[in-house]
Structure 1
Amino acid sequence: MFVPMDTVEANYPEKQTATNPLMIRYHVYSRRIRTMLYLGGVLQDRTHSAIRTYIVGFSVILMSLSHCIFLINLCRDHTDNLMLMVKYFSQIGSFIAPALMSACFLIKREKLIELHETLNDMFERELEQDQEAALATLYAFDRPFCIVFFTIAMTVLLHVCPPLISIIYQIIHHTEPRRYRFPFPGKFPWTVPINDGFIFYLHFLYHLFLGWWTVFTISSVDSLFGFYAFQISSILYAMSVKLRSANLQPRGTFSEILETCVWTHRRLCQCNYTLENIWQPIILRMLLANSILICILIFQVTQLTDIIMSEIFLLIFYITLKLLQTFMYAWYGNFITSTSEYFREGIYFSDWPDSSLDRHVRTNIIMTMMQKPMTIKALKVTSVNVNMFTNIVNTAVSYFFLLQSLDEGRER
């Protein structure tokens, strides 16, 4: 899905000799996302075998959904314990995410590849003309990518490391009897030995793969949304800068620039619609799940009676992850909307009425100014912007007070 960097650099070698720090940073950003998509099993690329892509994708779906079933099976044994029920349901919401993301990418594979190729071509064209304008907002996108990956990785490692260290310790010190545990809770429909043996290690490997998909699939898909939002908003911003400086150009040159910008804007609207079409089930799940998960996690913090540092750190990282994930999507959607409005203002304040444009181009310009700014919506329910983040936090707090009142009612 990502064009190799040597191909990109070959398009403008004279600019690469200058070793622009922003260009280097952009290349590192795109390479990291491609690597994450590959490790997460969701890389859609014409250079990779489609059969292999579907095999890995179905593996992610099967493993994630199967563990959700194991967690539901475990919930049936603890229906009288509200604390454990909310803990298990919070993990069900997290493990559904890799399965849904992989399914969306497999179903929309051709649209995803087409979206990347279209945006990549347009973005490269803007880079050739003005690197500074095209990469002006890079810092607002590549840093959150690293923060989200670190937060997800730390959350999963806090689940995986304690049982792994316990296994290693018991093997080294020849502890008898050995009692091992798995990183993630769940009840298998069959009996699994907890002391040793091939069957146990096979199930433990299953848990390690589950943690692997959770880290790389979720972080790569979330970051890819940010990467496409960066490209769309950067192209819009670069065109806005171009329009503001084009007023000083000769009349014929200005008309060509304006016509090109309007044509590019139309293609970006199509890309924005495709991006929304691919990600809207993912965003809708995130809206519904994160508001409930944040509420559950806050409730778990208030119910802690014994201070266990590992559990406290786990809850802190988990709450931070859900807030950060929600804010990232809201921030990216807001960026697209604001740069789209900035582009419309660039056309409005340009000298297009006095330019030598034919009536078809003038009609397109008027229609562009009359259009609403680009937005990302989740199944036409809500727009992805900063207000969405505020609404989710308010909903989570409301759910928390409801859950707290239910818990007090059960104690009485």
Structure 2
Amino acid sequence: MDAIEGNHPRKQTTTNNALIVRYRVYSRRVRMMLHLGGVLQDRTHSATQSYIVGFLVIFMCLPQCVFLFNFTRHHVGNLLLIVKCFGQICTFFAPVLMSACFLKKRKKLIELHETLKDLFERELAQDPEVALANLYAFDRPYWMGFCFTGLTILFYVCPSMISIIRQIVHQTEPRRYRLPFMAEFPWTVHVDGGFLFYLHYLYHLIVAWYIVITINSVDGLFGFYAFQISSVLNAMTVKLINWRSRETFSEMLVTCIRMHGQLLQCSNMLEDIWQLIIVRLLLVNSMLICALIFEASQIIRFQFTDISSTEVFGFVFYISLKLLQTFMYALYGNFITSASEQFCEGIYFSEWPDSNLDRHVRANVIVTMMQKPITIRALKMTSVNVTMFSNIVNTAMSYFFLLQSVNEDT
């Protein structure tokens, strides 16, 4: 029995070290994705370099939205095709909006990153187990989102690529190639190959790269900051519960109140940077889920025998991606609000009235307890929590039934 108890601290240290390594990998992965997606903002990159790369993302993705809109104008009578084009336009516009928001809020983003890094590293050094308790709840959804996005784009790109390779190998004449995504260019692009076609194909591959990397990096960064905010709040709550002496508690409480003020400022900066991105998520994902369900219902109703397995998997992964993306934001926001509530409860149920605090600190403690829990809101309209996820799903189903009734009337 003594041997087992003696090995327990060693096992605990090993577990903590494994969590720290996992956190460092998580942090480096988010940073690498931001760099590859062209939206990394930090002091190691000059403002000029950041703006050049950021505008490159906008310059590459925004024209595809225009080409898709132009394609839609030429197929106004086909409701199913319009719905499909709308979904793609919303997807291609996401990196444009994300890059623009990060460029506009560059200084605030750098300040948010440095402040949260200092606060979290301090708690990580003191108690790694508490600071990293919720690591897997943030790391795993981020990795799943990347896989779903990558697989969805592959189901768009691979069929056209396989078709081109097959026609070249079998020397098919006449050759008829197609691009991965729908588009109507202001100029003529011959589908039988040639330099101009392959140039446009390369353009679509670059746009697909930014869709996968940029969208996932920005979503992952929101989760990374939410993890740091909620983890620091949880660590402070544990300190309030496990205080030792009255003198130590008084000093610790003053530090926690000051750190809570910093976290409140960080959450406000997080909300300010991501508010337009979250609004786009609220408006677009409900309509995209509706559009995908409608598209699937129409194909099953009229073309079930012609649908390929690639299209089936494409639908499944795309709908799963939109649901997962919405749930991730809702979950991240819910973690922050829940940790904030627990922190205020930790102060309330502690022995702070009997501690050696001056009247100014006591006033700050009372003000902190009276404040509403930290909540991430989108343009002050809706809170980012699990309720938001259910609202988006309900809205999507309402849009679907409306779209279905309109289609039956026409």
Superposition TM-score tier, normalisation by shorter sequence: over 0.9
Cα pair distance change 1:79/1:281, threshold 3 Å: same
> Deviation of residue 17 (structure 1)?
9.2
> Deviation of residue 16 (structure 1)?
9.4
Query: Residue by residue, what CA displacement relative to the aligned partner does 1:257-279 show, whole Å, maximum 9, x if unpaired?
Result: 00000000000000000000000
User: Letter of the aligned partner of 2:377 in structure 1?
Assistant: K
After TM superposition, the structure 1 = structure 2 runs for residues 260-275 of structure 1, keeping only pairs within 5 Å, are 260-275=255-270
Determine if contact 2:138/2:223 at 8 Å carries over to the other structure: yes
TM-score of the pair, normalised by structure 1? 0.94
Tell me the residue number matched to 2:73.
76
Tell me the residue number matched to 2:277.
282
Aligned counterpart in structure 1 of residue 40 of structure 2, from 18, 39, 43: 43
> Deviation of residue 243 (structure 1)?
0.7
Aligned counterpart in structure 2 of residue 301 of structure 1, from 288, 296, 300: 296
Cα pair distance change 1:388/1:17, threshold 3 Å: closer
Tell me the residue number matched to 1:326.
326
Greater shift after overlay, 162-171 or 377-386? Answer: 162-171
> Deviation of residue 173 (structure 1)?
2.2
> Deviation of residue 19 (structure 1)?
7.0
Greater shift after overlay, 316-325 or 192-201? Answer: 192-201
4+ aligned runs moved over 4 Å, structure 1: 15-19
User: Letter of the aligned partner of 1:266 in structure 2?
Assistant: G
Cα pair distance change 1:19/1:287, threshold 3 Å: closer
User: Letter of the aligned partner of 1:78 in structure 2?
Assistant: H
Greater shift after overlay, 194-203 or 115-124? Answer: 194-203
Aligned counterpart in structure 2 of residue 221 of structure 1, from 203, 218, 227: 218
Cα pair distance change 1:189/1:130, threshold 3 Å: same
Cα distance in 2 for partners of 1:57, 1:170 equals 37
Tell me the residue number matched to 2:362.
362
Tell me the residue number matched to 1:337.
337
Q: Does 1:32 align with 2:37?
A: no
Determine if contact 2:65/2:92 at 8 Å carries over to the other structure: yes
Cα distance in 2 for partners of 1:223, 1:76 equals 35
Cα distance in 2 for partners of 1:122, 1:174 equals 62
- Secondary structure of 1:366's counterpart equals helix
Q: Does 1:348 align with 2:348?
A: yes
Cα pair distance change 1:18/1:85, threshold 3 Å: closer
TM-score of the pair, normalised by structure 2? 0.94
Tell me the residue number matched to 1:254.
249
Cα distance in 2 for partners of 1:308, 1:136 equals 44
Unaligned runs of 5+ in 1: 1-14
Cα pair distance change 1:63/1:177, threshold 3 Å: same
- Secondary structure of 1:186's counterpart equals coil
Query: Residue by residue, what CA displacement relative to the aligned partner does 1:196-230 show, whole Å, maximum 9, x if unpaired?
Result: 22111111110000000000000010010000000
Cα distance in 2 for partners of 1:48, 1:93 equals 29
> Deviation of residue 186 (structure 1)?
0.7
Unaligned runs of 5+ in 2: 1-11
Query: Residue by residue, what CA displacement relative to the aligned partner does 1:288-336 show, whole Å, maximum 9, x if unpaired?
Result: 0001010010001111123321111111111101111111100100110
Tell me the residue number matched to 2:316.
316
> Deviation of residue 52 (structure 1)?
2.0
User: Letter of the aligned partner of 1:337 in structure 2?
Assistant: T
> Deviation of residue 139 (structure 1)?
1.0
User: Letter of the aligned partner of 1:286 in structure 2?
Assistant: L
Cα distance in 2 for partners of 1:370, 1:195 equals 69
> Percent identical across equivalent pairs?
65
Aligned counterpart in structure 2 of residue 94 of structure 1, from 80, 91, 94: 91
Query: Residue by residue, what CA displacement relative to the aligned partner does 1:142-173 show, whole Å, maximum 9, x if unpaired?
Result: 00011000000000111111111111222222
Tell me the residue number matched to 1:390.
390
Greater shift after overlay, 306-315 or 97-106? Answer: 306-315
